[in-house]
Amino acid sequence: MPNAKRFKWRKPKPMKDHPPAEQKDSERKKEPENPEISGRRIEIDFVNDLKKKHKTERDEDAAHANKQLRWTQIAAGLVFIYTAVMFWQACLTRQVARTTRDQLIASQRPWVGLDEENGLKTTPLMFDAKGNASLKYVLNAKNFGNYGAQSVFPTAKLLILQDISDLPNIEREFCNEYVSPGLGFALFPGDRARGTVESGGFVTPSQRITHAGSGNEFYAWLIACVSYSDQFNTPHHTVTEFRLGHAGTIEMIVFQPIPNTTVEGDWVAIHSYFLD
């Protein structure tokens, strides 16, 4: 064919060799790293290791401190319990010793008071022309203990009053006036005959104990005090309270302190106790 082009065959050029992907990766790995980058990695790893080690040490220290604190608290609790027990035992021992001493003293000291059968005798309560109240009385003391008493001195104080709230203070002050060891006489156990004392009570209008709103109505009280001392010269007092009323009743006689009048009644024992 006249118009047909002719093609000349040429031998193809051989292809350049291309290594496979695995070979490229292995070759890439064999390439040396940058020393600066490698140093930074080592530094970071060292810091992280130090942080972990420090945290572990802190955790161990905290656990040890908590354990020590727990044992310290337990020890403190045991010490507190032991101290409380020892304090309680000391208090109990002291109380037992005090009780034993009091019992010993009580068993070896005299107990003197007014005779329960014939402790008090009086004349009627009288008011003179000036309104002064007076009476005479006889007190009979008795030794109820097992040991002799000395310096025994019974006495009494007459009170014309409207308010009895201050009686305890009046009784204590009155009894403390008689503490002289040279005053009075000896009284042996069961002895009552030598305990007789005669005297009188006297109250002026200014010595009356008044209370606002009570008007002109009064009561009469007689405070008896027996002072004495034991074989060791320790002073003691016994108080007995009497009020003017009617025998067999609890009612007090209410009266007006009119001059030149007499108030009849019975002195009823209300309360008796050992002051010391």
pLDDT given at position 97: 80
User: Residue 91: CA atoms inside 13 Å, Cβ hemisphere, count?
Assistant: 6
Distance of CA 203 to the CA centre of its chain: 42
Predicted local distance difference test score (pLDDT) of residue 136: 95
pLDDT by residue, tens only, the chain of 276 residues: 455 445 455 555 555 555 555 555 555 555 555 555 555 556 666 666 766 776 777 777 778 788 888 888 888 888 889 888 988 888 888 888 877 776 766 677 899 999 988 899 999 999 999 999 999 999 999 999 889 999 899 999 999 999 989 999 999 999 888 765 567 888 888 776 555 778 889 999 999 999 988 889 999 999 999 999 998 888 899 999 999 998 888 889 999 999 999 999 999 999 999 988
The whole-number pLDDT of residue 1 equals: 47
Q: What is the pLDDT at residue 161?
A: 95
Distance CA 155, CA 222 (A): 10
Q: Return phi, psi of residue 138, to 5°.
A: -125, 125
CB 257 within 8 A of CB 207: no
Measured in degrees and rounded to the nearest 5, phi and psi for residue 173 equal -65, -40
DSSP code, position 254: P
Which residue type sits at 81? I
Look up residue 108 and give its two tokens: 């070896």
| CA dist., res. 140 & res. 44, Å (int) | 110
Q: Is 271 exposed, middle or buried (0-12, 13-18, 19+ CB in 10 A)?
A: exposed
Instruction: Specify the pLDDT at position 11.
Output: 56
DSSP 8-state class, residue 128:
-
Q: Are 153 and 114 contacting, i.e. CB atoms less than 8 angstroms apart? A: no
- As beta bridge partners, residue 152 has 185
Taking the mean position of all CA atoms in its chain, how far away is CA 185? 42
- Contact at 8 Å (CB) between 244 and 253? yes
